A and B are shown apart, each in its own frame.
Chain A
C-alpha cells in the first residue's frame, strides 16, 4: 500500500511541479482554476481515484485519494479534485450512475433549495450557498433530504464567490424542471446515511488538503529561516526560531498521521470518530502552523509578493470548510458524554467497552 502511495504521490508531485508556474498560478489565484493541471491529472486517470472501476473510475482506495490530496494541498493546486473523486464521483457510483469526464462538484442542499418530484419530472428550485468550483464544474451533484440530484452546467446560474484563498466557492441559483431520472436518489435505500458519509468525506478531504498545506508552510519557513540573515547570521541559528520550527513540525506530523489514519479507517466504512478527530486536529493545528509560519517569515510573509500567503490563506479557509474544529469537536464530545461510565477509553480505541 505504501509503495502505491509513493508512486502515486511522486507522479502527482512531478505534474504539480511542471504545471504550477507563475502564469498559471496567477490565473488560478484570480478565482480561476488550474485547467492544465486538471487536464494532466485527468489524462493520468487520477481524477477518479477511489471511484470503482465498474462506475468508470480508476479504482483504488480512499487512502490513495487522500495521499494525492495532500500533495495537491502542498502545491495549493486549484482544481476540484476532492469534489470530483471523493464526493461527486463517489455519489454517482453510489447511485449506480457512470462517472463522466470533466470536473465535478458536489454539495449538500441547505434550506434554500427545494426538490419536488411530480410525475416524470423533478423540480429543482432555489439557491445553494458556497458551492466549491461551481463555475468550473460540468456536473453538480446535490445531496438533498430524499436523495441526490444531478445538474449539468448551464442548468444553474453561478454567482461568483470565493473563500479566503480566492478559490471559487460560488452561490448557485436553480429554477428547473428536469427529467425524473436526474433524481438519482431512487436507488438509495438510506438517504440519511449518504448524507452522513458525504459529510465525512468532505471533512476528510479538507483535512487532507490542510495536512499538505501545513507541510508546505513548514518547508517555506525552514527555507526562509536558513536564508534570512539578521545580527550577522541566518535566523535559523537562533534557538527561539528553531523552537518555532520544531513546534510546527510536530503539528504537521500530527496532521498527517491523523489524516492518514482516518483515511485507513474510512476505507473500512464510515467512521465518524476518526473523521471528527482528524478534522478537529487538522483544523485546530492549521491556525497554529499558519501563525508560526508568518512569525518566522516576518513582514515579508505578510506581503502579496511572497508566496507564503497562497498556503496560509488556504489553511485559514480550509479549516472552516467541511466543518470547523469546533463543530466536529462538539460532535465528538457528545459521543464521549454518551459513552457510558468508563467508556471513554473504548471510544478512543474504537473497541468494545469491557470495564
Chain B
C-alpha cells in the first residue's frame, strides 16, 4: 500500500517555497514603473504583446543600461550592480507587464551574460559583460538546427580542431535577432558522437557580423523578421572563442535552463492584452465579466508566485530546472488562455491595422501564440522532464 511518506516526498520539486520580495526592491520597482510610464507618455515606446521577441529597440535598451537595469546580476567590475535574481525579476516583470520593447538585449541579459559570467575567461568577461550591461552588445542564441529541435543533443554543426583553434561548419535556425546581434553563443559538436550523446558538445562565441557567417531571414507567419537561419561556412575561431570547457557544452547549456524557462516572460507575453481588456470592460461597466476576469487574475497571481519562487531559489544558488519546466508549461498555456478570454469578452475583431488597442493586441497575440508553447523547449518535452522527476520515465 502506498504511503504519503514514500521516496517521492523527498523530491526536490516540493522544496519550492514562496519568495518574499525584500522591501528595498519596492523602490526599484517604483523607479522602473515611473520610467516606463514616462517612456510611453512621451511616445518613445509603445505597448505591445510579446515584446521580448518582437520589440527590438536598441535606444531603449541603452536607456535601460544607463539606469543600471541590464546585467544587474553582474559584479560591479563587469558593469553590473551585483544584484540578485529577485531584483532582476522585479525589473523584468515591470518591463514585460508594460509591454516595453526588450528584445534587443533579452538574450544577452537573460542567458548569454550569465553564461559568460559563469563559464567565461577573464578576457571574455571583460570583453562582453560591461557592453551588455550598457545595452551596447546584443546576443543571439545558436541552439536549434534544421534537424535539431527538441532533441538538442543531436546538433550537427561541427567544430573541427585545427592549429590554434576550431573550424565551425553547419546551420543554426530560429536564431532570434541574429541579423542585428553583435555575437552568438552556439552549441556545436566537437567530438564524434558516442554512446553518451551529451558528451562532445561545446559552446563557442562568434562575433557578428562575420564574412563566413551567412544570415538569412526566416519570416514569421505574420511576415515579421525576428528569426534567422545562420550558416557557418568553415568559420575559423581561435581557441579563446570557446566558452567554458571543450566538451562541456551540454552541462553548460542545461545549467541555464532554470533561468531560461522560469522567468516572468513565460507568463506575461499577453499581459498587455489582458490589461487592455480589463480597462475596456471596466469602462463599459461590465459586472458580468467579473468571474471570468477574476479567474484570469487568480491564475496570473499564482503563476507569478511560482515564477518568483523559482527566482528565489536561483538567488539562493540553486538551479531548479524541474520547477522551471512546470512554470513554463503552466505559464505559456496561460498566455493562450488570455487570448481566448479576450476573444470571448473583448467585443473586438483581431486587427493588426486597428487603432483599438484590444483589437490590435489581440491580433498580435494570436499571430505570436504558436511560439509561446514551443520556444525554450516544447511543453511536451517539459512534461517529459517532470515525468522523469516523478520517477515514471
Q: Is the CB of A330 within 8 A of B330?
A: no
Classify the secondary structure of A's interface with B. helix
- Considering only residues 227-263 of chain A, those with a C-beta below 8 Å from chain B are 236-237, 239, 241-243, 245-247, 249-250, 253-254, 256-258, 260-261
What interface size band does chain A fall in?
35 or more
A25 to B52, CA, bound (A): 53
Q: Is the CB of A222 within 8 A of B275?
A: no
- Considering only residues 17-63 of chain A, those with a C-beta below 8 Å from chain B are 17
Closest residue to B333 on the A side, CB-wise? Answer: A250
A256 to B14, CA, bound (A): 9
Q: Is the CB of A223 within 8 A of B2?
A: yes
Q: Is A342's beta carbon under 8 Å from chain B?
A: yes
The contact of A337 among B98, B290, B386, by CB within 8 Å, is B290
A273 to B291, CA, bound (A): 14
What interface size band does chain B fall in?
35 or more
Q: Is B8's beta carbon under 8 Å from chain A?
A: yes
Q: Is the CB of B30 within 8 A of A352?
A: yes
A253 to B305, CA, bound (A): 11
Q: Which of the candidate stretches B67-75, B110-118, B231-239, B296-304 sits at the interface with the other chain?
A: B296-304
Residues of A within 8 A of B93 (CB): 349
Q: Is the CB of B291 within 8 A of A326?
A: yes
A243 to B326, CA, bound (A): 12
Closest residue to B392 on the A side, CB-wise? Answer: A236
Chain B 1-31: CB-based contact to A (< 8 A → 1; otherwise 0):
1111110100001101110100000100110
Q: Which of the candidate stretches A117-125, A131-139, A274-282 sits at the interface with the other chain?
A: A274-282
Q: Is the CB of A333 within 8 A of B297?
A: yes
Q: Which of the candidate stretches B145-153, B191-199, B281-289, B360-368 sits at the interface with the other chain?
A: B281-289
A218 to B14, CA, bound (A): 12
Residues of A within 8 A of B98 (CB): 345, 355
Q: Is the CB of A273 within 8 A of B301?
A: yes
Q: Is A83's beta carbon under 8 Å from chain B?
A: no
Number of A-B contacts (CB under 8 A): 205
- Considering only residues 25-48 of chain B, those with a C-beta below 8 Å from chain A are 26, 29-30, 33-34, 36-37
Q: Is A189's beta carbon under 8 Å from chain B?
A: no
A243 to B381, CA, bound (A): 9
Q: Is the CB of A243 within 8 A of B299?
A: no
**A124 → chain B closest CB, angstroms:** 35
Q: Is the CB of B293 within 8 A of A333?
A: yes
Q: A342-B275, A348-B301 are in contact. Are A246 and B294 (CB under 8 A)?
A: no
A258 to B330, CA, bound (A): 14
A218 to B326, CA, bound (A): 15
Residues of A within 8 A of B306 (CB): 253-254, 257
**B12 → chain A closest CB, angstroms:** 11
- Considering only residues 124-147 of chain A, those with a C-beta below 8 Å from chain B are none
A219 to B14, CA, bound (A): 12
The contact of A246 among B36, B278, B302, B390, by CB within 8 Å, is B390
Would you mind naming 21 contact pairs between A and B with Cβ atoms under 8 Å apart?
Answer: A219-B6, A242-B387, A246-B386, A247-B383, A249-B389, A249-B390, A253-B16, A254-B302, A257-B306, A276-B298, A277-B297, A277-B301, A278-B298, A329-B292, A331-B290, A335-B297, A337-B282, A337-B286, A341-B283, A348-B304, A349-B29
9 residue pairs, one from A and one from B, having the closest CB atoms: A333-B290, A333-B294, A329-B294, A332-B294, A246-B383, A280-B298, A236-B392, A277-B301, A246-B386
Not counting A334-B287, A352-B30, a sample of 13 additional A-B residue pairs whose C-beta atoms are within 8 angstroms of each other reads: A239-B384, A243-B387, A246-B384, A256-B14, A257-B306, A273-B301, A278-B302, A280-B299, A284-B295, A329-B294, A333-B297, A347-B297, A355-B98
Chain A contact residues, CB within 8 Å of chain B = 2, 13, 16-17, 74-75, 215-216, 218-220, 222-226, 236-237, 239, 241-243, 245-247, 249-250, 253-254, 256-258, 260-261, 264, 273-274, 276-278, 280-281, 284, 307, 325-326, 328-342, 344-345, 347-349, 351-352, 354-355
Chain B contact residues, CB within 8 Å of chain A = 1-6, 8, 13-14, 16-18, 20, 26, 29-30, 33-34, 36-37, 93, 97-98, 271, 274-275, 278-279, 281-283, 286-287, 289-295, 297-306, 309, 323, 326, 329-330, 380, 382-384, 386-387, 389-393
